[in-house]
Amino acid sequence: MASEKSTRMNCEALQASLETLGDWRWSPAAQQHLSECAACRILVHDLELLAHKLRQLNAPEPSPALWERIRFQLELEGIIHPLPQAEPVAAAPLPAPPKPRGNSSRTSRSRA
Partner 1 sequence: MRQQPAVSKRIAPDFEDEAQAIALAQHGRADAFEHLYQLHKRRVYSLCLRMTGNTAEAEDLAQEAFLQLFRKIGTFRGESAFSTWLHRLAVNVVLMHLRRKGLPEVSLEETLQPLQEDGPKRDIGERDKNLVGSLDRVNLERAIESLPPGYRTIFVLHDMEGYEHNEIAGMMGCSIGNSKSQLHKARMKLRDLLRAPHPHRGARE
Applying CB under 5 A, the residues found at the interface with Zn ion are 11, 37, 40
If the CB atoms of residues 85 and 108 are measured against partner 1, the closer one turns out to be 85
CA 67 – CA 65 distance, rounded (Å): 6
User: Is residue 29 a contact point for partner 1 (CB under 8 A)?
Assistant: no
User: Is residue 93 a contact point for partner 1 (CB under 8 A)?
Assistant: no
User: Is residue 81 a contact point for partner 1 (CB under 8 A)?
Assistant: yes
End-to-end CA distance of the chain: 96
User: Is residue 54 a contact point for partner 1 (CB under 8 A)?
Assistant: yes
CA 88 – CA 97 distance, rounded (Å): 15
DSSP states along 85-98: SSSSSTT--S-PPP
Integer-rounded Cα Rg, in Å, for the chain is 32
CA 41 – CA 35 distance, rounded (Å): 8
User: Is residue 13 a contact point for partner 1 (CB under 8 A)?
Assistant: no
Residues near partner 1 (CB under 8 A) are 8, 11-12, 15, 18-20, 22, 37-40, 42-43, 45-47, 49-51, 53-54, 56-63, 65-67, 69-71, 73-75, 77, 79-83, 88-89
